[in-house]
Chains A and B, each alone.
Chain A
Amino acid sequence: MPTLGADMEAGTLVAWRKQPGDVLRRGDTIAEVDTEKGVIDVEVFHDGVFDAILVAPGTRVPVGTPLATIRVAGEPAVAPVAAAPAAPPAPPETGEVRPAAAVAPTRPLPTPPLYAPALDALGRLRISPSARRLARELGVDPRLVEGTGREGAITRADIERAAAGEPAAPQVAVPVTPAFAPPAAPPSADRQDRQGHQDRLDRMRRTIAAAMSRSKREIPHYYLSTTIDLHAAMAWLDRENERRPPEKRLLAGMLLLKAAALAIREAPELNAVWEGDRVVVKPDVHLGVAISLRQGGLVILALHDTASRSLDDLMDGLRDLTARARAGRMKSSELSDSTITVTSLGDRGVDAVWGVIYPPQVAIVGFGKIVERPWAVDGGLFVRRIVTATLAADHRVSDGHRGGLYLDAIDRLLQDPEQL
């Protein structure tokens, strides 16, 4: 069972998408796993042959439990296997350690790095031992108690409050649409699914609360902003879109995403994760895109290799990502791979957004809505479309000067949209 965040403790196997004997390629979806984030496609990290199923659909197992075995390519077959079709060469290994092997191949995999999750899988109640005992003594059902402790843990004080009938300490108010249809994902045998979507949403809210609280508590944020003239970029985009059919049109946001990814070369330390006491700079840019879910809450999913893909490719990728996120069908790598996040409140939103860094990342870029404003150029006054770009970054890792260079690089890239 892959961990999709260090706080995830268990997941339910929904279905096998491959069967023993199948030839597997790195990146293939082998199984579906249900967590409170929705049904996640579990990918394999090695070419090989599906050897044996260890966990049956409908079973809930702790993280780390091998789900199946894979014979890694190059190993002798244990049992006769149909000759594999000539496989294309495997993509080169990046050398980056991927979090959490989804399945246990017969060859040992590198230990996945553990880092605190953005999204907590609350298969288990996060409650202090003392609070658990107190809850039993006072007859309080701790599952009904809002935790206010570290990372949302339920403390003695929470139990005492609940026993006294008081509300939980004030939390961030979250408007939750009262009722809506369950997600498109097929319900599994997991009992948790029957508890309804509201539960899942509450838990997601709590995990967001935990991740964001942790971020604000642990990460010394600094904030920068710059206003960028999008005249050149929007003129180019309008020209492009004018000659394209609707399904090929690009959103202005794609230019911003691509620019944010490319600008990383000016300040690579912003594309990194903080591992307890040190920063690990990532070689590839997997932009995390904050996707708000229609039913409330949000997920941050990786748009892989953002800097090297074409705008069209990225557009397709983002469309696919958004659709699947909203359907509750995400891939494990998308949840765990992002290296820097971009958030935007959309074109009907606000002038500027100041992000909260998504741990263990060290920076978040925000784009406000694109608006027309008076703009001075060479002593003349013009109406131009502009956008306010912001950066919230971890001061342990970078300084304002570097952050400023990064925003400036985004600005310069957007002045030359052909290059994006």
Chain B
Amino acid sequence: MSDEVKIRQTVLEILGGIAPEADLAALEPDANFRRELDLDSMDFQNFVIRLCKALAVHVPDRDAAQLTSLKRCIDYLR
């Protein structure tokens, strides 16, 4: 599994856990999922926490705010 696929899958899994009602299949790579999925700051922080854990990476606080679309996540993390 490529990094890109793994990152995409992980991001979607985490988002699915946070917003179980969302139709993630329809999520465009460039779409701002914070807005699309209506994630508040607590949701988003939970997303970052789980993402860091799942991928075993460290994301500094000042960078975390950039991780708002699938594409940005993939670009930043791979």
A–B: direct contact at CB < 8 Å: yes
Hey, which bits of chain A sit against chain B, CB under 8 A? 177, 179-181, 238, 241-242, 244-247, 249, 251-253, 292, 294-295, 318-319, 322, 346-348
> When the two chains form their complex, are residues A177 and B21 in contact, meaning their CB atoms are under 8 A apart?
yes
Q: Which residues of chain B are within 8 angstroms of A246 by Cβ–Cβ distance?
A: 45, 48-49, 52, 59, 61, 64
> When the two chains form their complex, are residues B52 and A253 in contact, meaning their CB atoms are under 8 A apart?
no
> When the two chains form their complex, are residues A180 and B61 in contact, meaning their CB atoms are under 8 A apart?
no
Q: Does B8 contact A (CB under 8 A)?
A: no
A225 to B23, CA, bound (A): 39
User: Other than the known A246-B49, A246-B59, A348-B35, what 5 A-B pairs have Cβ atoms closer than 8 Å?
Assistant: A180-B21, A238-B62, A242-B62, A246-B45, A346-B40
Q: Which residues of chain B are within 8 angstroms of A238 by Cβ–Cβ distance?
A: 61-62
Beta-carbon contacts of B33-63 to A below 8 Å, as 1s and 0s? Answer: 0110010111001101100100000111110
Q: Which residues of chain B are within 8 angstroms of A245 by Cβ–Cβ distance?
A: 52, 58
Name the residue on B nearest A252 (C-beta).
B41
Q: Which residues of chain A are within 8 angstroms of B35 by Cβ–Cβ distance?
A: 348
A241 to B40, CA, bound (A): 18
User: B41 touches which one: A292, A294, A347 (CB < 8 A)?
Assistant: A347
The 4 tightest CB contacts between A and B, nearest first, are: A180-B21, A241-B61, A246-B49, A346-B40
> When the two chains form their complex, are residues B38 and A294 in contact, meaning their CB atoms are under 8 A apart?
yes
Instruction: Give 14 A-B contacts (CB < 8 Å), ordered by A residue.
Output: A177-B21, A180-B20, A180-B21, A241-B61, A242-B61, A242-B62, A245-B52, A246-B64, A247-B49, A249-B61, A251-B41, A294-B19, A294-B38, A348-B34
Q: Which residues of chain A are within 8 angstroms of B38 by Cβ–Cβ distance?
A: 294
A295 to B18, CA, bound (A): 12
> When the two chains form their complex, are residues A295 and B21 in contact, meaning their CB atoms are under 8 A apart?
yes
What distance in Å separates the Cβ of A172 from its nearest Cβ neighbour in chain B?
A: 19
A248 to B78, CA, bound (A): 24
Hey, which bits of chain B sit against chain A, CB under 8 A? 19-21, 34-35, 38, 40-42, 45-46, 48-49, 52, 58-62, 64
Name the residue on A nearest B21 (C-beta).
A180
Q: Which residues of chain A are within 8 angstroms of B59 by Cβ–Cβ distance?
A: 246
A348 to B19, CA, bound (A): 17
> When the two chains form their complex, are residues B42 and A322 in contact, meaning their CB atoms are under 8 A apart?
yes
A189 to B62, CA, bound (A): 48
Name the residue on A nearest B61 (C-beta).
A241
What distance in Å separates the Cβ of A332 from its nearest Cβ neighbour in chain B?
A: 23
> When the two chains form their complex, are residues B20 and A244 in contact, meaning their CB atoms are under 8 A apart?
no
A245 to B49, CA, bound (A): 8
> When the two chains form their complex, are residues A319 and B42 in contact, meaning their CB atoms are under 8 A apart?
yes
Q: Which among B20, B38, B42, B49 has the greatest number of chain A C-beta atoms within 10 A?
A: B42
Name the residue on A nearest B59 (C-beta).
A246
What distance in Å separates the Cβ of B44 from its nearest Cβ neighbour in chain A?
A: 8
Name the residue on B nearest A243 (C-beta).
B61
Q: Which residues of chain B are within 8 angstroms of A322 by Cβ–Cβ distance?
A: 42
What distance in Å separates the Cβ of A276 from its nearest Cβ neighbour in chain B?
A: 36
Name the residue on B nearest A248 (C-beta).
B49
> When the two chains form their complex, are residues A242 and B42 in contact, meaning their CB atoms are under 8 A apart?
no
Q: Which residues of chain B are within 8 angstroms of A253 by Cβ–Cβ distance?
A: 41-42
What distance in Å separates the Cβ of B25 from its nearest Cβ neighbour in chain A?
A: 15
Q: Which residues of chain B are within 8 angstroms of A242 by Cβ–Cβ distance?
A: 60-62
Q: Which among B41, B58, B59 has the greatest number of chain A C-beta atoms within 10 A?
A: B41
A348 to B46, CA, bound (A): 16
Q: Which residues of chain B are within 8 angstroms of A241 by Cβ–Cβ distance?
A: 61
Q: Which residues of chain B are within 8 angstroms of A295 by Cβ–Cβ distance?
A: 21
A181 to B23, CA, bound (A): 12
> When the two chains form their complex, are residues A249 and B20 in contact, meaning their CB atoms are under 8 A apart?
no
A117 to B63, CA, bound (A): 43
Name the residue on B nearest A184 (C-beta).
B20
> When the two chains form their complex, are residues A244 and B21 in contact, meaning their CB atoms are under 8 A apart?
no
Q: Which residues of chain B are within 8 angstroms of A292 by Cβ–Cβ distance?
A: 40
A180 to B21, CA, bound (A): 5
Name the residue on B nearest A183 (C-beta).
B20
Q: Which among B21, B38, B40 has the greatest number of chain A C-beta atoms within 10 A?
A: B40
Q: Which residues of chain A are within 8 angstroms of B42 by Cβ–Cβ distance?
A: 251, 253, 318-319, 322
Q: Which residues of chain A are within 8 angstroms of B40 by Cβ–Cβ distance?
A: 292, 346-348
> When the two chains form their complex, are residues B45 and A251 in contact, meaning their CB atoms are under 8 A apart?
yes
Q: Which residues of chain A are within 8 angstroms of B20 by Cβ–Cβ distance?
A: 180-181, 294
What distance in Å separates the Cβ of A234 from its nearest Cβ neighbour in chain B?
A: 12
A318 to B45, CA, bound (A): 12
